[in-house]
């Protein structure tokens, strides 16, 4: 489940990501392209995976040149921020904005996936509770 706040603190959009198992044993995740009501969102929230923590991030979207970019700034994770680009294809030439300092390419690093970050954050929370 993903909750995305858009606008000037007045509009909230709830989106539902659904993962399905395929016949070949792999899985596919899809975004259900509809806005959930608050009631639907809270019903899904009650079914949250207890092995995952909530991932809070600020999403900053901008265009540079003719390209759409999303800067994901994570809170509570060891990762600081991830810049995503909406490219035509994986082979498309991408020109990084001159004002961005790229530390490294993380496209293939699964540890930057929000689902896995949620697991990492939950483990950290458990360790903190045990130390108390």
pLDDT of residue 54: 77
pLDDT of residue 46: 86
pLDDT of residue 11: 55
Distance in angstroms (rounded) separating the CA atoms of residues 55 and 120: 10
Distance in angstroms (rounded) separating the CA atoms of residues 51 and 115: 11
53-77 pLDDT, tens digit per residue, is: 777 778 888 999 888 998 888 776 6
pLDDT of residue 98: 92
pLDDT of residue 57: 79
Are 85 and 92 spatial neighbours (Cβ–Cβ below 8 Å)?
no
Query: How many Cβ atoms are within 10 Å of 110's Cβ, its own excluded?
Result: 8
Low-confidence stretches of the chain (pLDDT < 50) are none
Are 30 and 17 spatial neighbours (Cβ–Cβ below 8 Å)?
yes
């Amino acid at each position: 489940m993903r909750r995305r706040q858009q606008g000037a603190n007045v509009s909230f959009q709830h989106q539902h990501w659904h993962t399905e198992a395929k016949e070949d044993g792999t899985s596919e995740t899809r975004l259900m392209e509809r806005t959930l009501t608050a009631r639907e969102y809270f019903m899904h929230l009650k079914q949250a995976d207890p092995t995952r923590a909530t991932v809070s991030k600020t999403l900053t979207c901008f265009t540079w040149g003719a390209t759409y970019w999303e800067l994901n700034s994570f809170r509570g994770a060891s990762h600081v921020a991830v810049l995503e680009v909406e490219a035509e294809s994986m082979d498309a030439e991408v020109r990084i904005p001159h004002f961005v300092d790229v530390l490294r390419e993380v496209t293939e690093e699964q540890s930057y996936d929000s689902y896995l970050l949620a697991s990492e954050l939950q483990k950290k929370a458990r360790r903190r509770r045990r130390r108390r």
